């Protein structure tokens, strides 16, 4: 359990959570990492903690390069428990360490833990602290994705310790993006953005603009989850992707999401998809009986058209569809066109529940479509005509 040097005198002391399968309902089939870093300088600095149940492993890595009694600073970029869970343990081992965070971070730490005796140095965007040969500069990024979130820039190393920004829930036996399949890392970075940062596009754009305004030269981005981006090609790739995702720009794609009981809604979903195919519009179709909601949301980043279908069960949306709609609403995707459709047996009207969510998100919509029991050929043609209205 040794530390891993990622730059001269900068060490990864994090942990890999191979067994993590979900995070707040977000599927994490590749596990995750909780990355912490030690900067060996005149004032030894530890950046971020880990989940409480992996504390011993992290502590062993720190001890492989230094003693906790020599740590001067603990930088807390974010107080969510996957980053702060073992901070009380760290502070018992290093009671002399001063915590560097922002005002919201201090408040969050006090709300979570008994912080009696902890000493703080509070920072805001543009502030800097010298730790010897290195200067730490800070960029507060409130609501990306908590009020306390911030990033720490190591000026001399051109290193951005970005916490949740640019991360991936991805456990692998390597530390660096270059040593992992690039397409997989990018897919996981996209999934991370879609399922955690999607509601905060404006804040993400602001953070990117602030970094530009401060003139930060970045050669390496070391997030708190997943692999480290290094070199111009990798750094530009992830910064460019975030710029696109945060802007809300889409590729004109269509996404059809549905569930089905006896095949009626599946037939309607197939008809909906065929209209986009015939129009030459890229389209993907997800059945919620086989896809996790977090897989579906990745496609929303690139989509212009969203079509959601549900059968009726006990006069309500089908449970998996209802769960998806709730999950989607919380992530608040913008600038979409929505279409609700479905089937029913003896009482119609559940598509209005989907429609109301579309409207609450400010989407353009067309009139919902419902059919009783099995759709006949004429009904299939009717729903096709309805979808054509959407793309006209």
Q: Which of 22, 24, 67, 251 is an active site residue?
A: 24
- What tokens does 237 get? 């790739």
**Percent of the chain at pLDDT above 90?**
83
Confidence of residue 392 (pLDDT cuts 50, 70, 90): confident
> Each residue of 167-185: pLDDT tens digit?
999 999 999 999 999 999 9
**Percent of the chain at pLDDT above 70?**
100
Query: What is the average per-residue pLDDT within 189-215?
Result: 84
78 is catalytic: yes
Predicted pLDDT of residue 64 = 98
**CATH number of 254-391, picked from 1.10.20.10, 2.60.40.10, 1.10.3720.10, 3.40.50.360:** 3.40.50.360
Predicted pLDDT of residue 272 = 97
Q: Which of 157, 164, 259, 371 is an active site residue?
A: 164
82 is catalytic: yes
> Each residue of 94-113: pLDDT tens digit?
999 999 999 999 999 999 99
Q: What is the number of other CB atoms lying within 10 angstroms of the CB of residue 36?
A: 27
Domain ranges of the chain: 4-247, 254-391
Q: Which of 9, 80, 110, 127 is an active site residue?
A: 80
225 is catalytic: yes
Q: Which CATH superfamily is domain 4-247 in?
A: Ribonuclease Z/Hydroxyacylglutathione hydrolase-like (3.60.15.10)
Q: Which of 17, 41, 48, 82 is an active site residue?
A: 82
Q: Which of 225, 234, 242, 258 is an active site residue?
A: 225
164 is catalytic: yes
Task: Pick the closest to residue 204 from 152, 159, 149, 126 (CA basis).
Answer: 149
Q: Which of 145, 188, 305, 327 is an active site residue?
A: 145
123, 152 Cβ separation under 8 angstroms: no
CA dihedral 192, 284, 241, 7 (to 10 degrees): 50
Predicted pLDDT of residue 133 = 97
192 is catalytic: yes
Residue with tokens 């890392």, as numbered in its chain: 185
* Same-fold call for 4-247 versus 254-391: no
Distance (Å, rounded) from C-alpha 143 to C-alpha 123? 17
24 is catalytic: yes
169 is catalytic: no
Q: Which of 11, 41, 48, 78 is an active site residue?
A: 78
């Amino acid at each position: 359990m040794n530390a891993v040097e990622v730059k001269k005198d900068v060490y990864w002391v994090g942990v890999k959570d191979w067994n993590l399968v979900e995070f707040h309902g977000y599927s994490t089939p590749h596990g995750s990492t909780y990355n912490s870093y030690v900067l060996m300088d005149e004032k030894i600095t530890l950046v971020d903690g880990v989940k409480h149940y992996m504390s011993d492993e992290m502590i062993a890595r720190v001890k492989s390069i230094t003693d906790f009694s020599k740590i001067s600073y603990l930088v807390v970029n974010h107080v969510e428990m996957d980053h702060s869970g073992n901070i009380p343990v760290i502070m018992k081992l290093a009671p002399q360490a001063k915590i560097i965070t922002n005002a919201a971070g201090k408040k969050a730490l006090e709300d979570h833990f008994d912080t009696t005796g902890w000493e703080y140095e509070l920072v805001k965007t543009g502030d800097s602290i010298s730790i010897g040969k290195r200067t730490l500069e800070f960029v507060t990024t409130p609501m990306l994705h908590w009020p306390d979130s911030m990033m720490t820039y190591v000026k001399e190393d051109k290193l951005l310790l970005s916490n949740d920004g640019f991360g991936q829930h991805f456990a692998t036996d390597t530390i660096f993006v270059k040593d992992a399949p690039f397409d997989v890392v990018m897919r996981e970075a996209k999934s991370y953005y879609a399922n955690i940062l999607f509601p905060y596009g404006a804040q993400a754009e602001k953070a990117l603009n602030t970094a530009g305004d401060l003139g930060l030269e970045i050669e390496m981005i070391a997030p708190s989850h997943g692999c480290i981006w290094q070199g111009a090609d990798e750094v530009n790739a992830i910064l460019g992707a975030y710029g696109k995702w945060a802007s809300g720009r889409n590729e004109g794609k269509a996404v059809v999401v549905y569930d089905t009981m006896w095949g009626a809604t599946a037939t309607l979903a197939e008809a909906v998809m065929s209209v986009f195919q015939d129009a030459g519009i890229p389209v993907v179709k997800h059945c919620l009986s086989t896809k996790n909601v977090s897989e579906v949301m990745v496609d929303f980043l690139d989509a212009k058209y969203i079509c959601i279908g549900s059968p009726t069960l006990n006069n309500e949306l089908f449970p998996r569809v209802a769960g998806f709609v709730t999950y989607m609403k919380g992530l608040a995707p913008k600038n979409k066109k929505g279409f609700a459709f479905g089937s029913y047996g003896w009482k119609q009207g559940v598509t209005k529940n989907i429609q109301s969510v579309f409207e609450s998100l400010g989407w353009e919509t067309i009139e919902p479509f419902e059919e009783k029991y099995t759709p006949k050929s004429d009904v299939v043609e009717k729903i096709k005509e309805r979808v054509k209205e959407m793309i006209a």
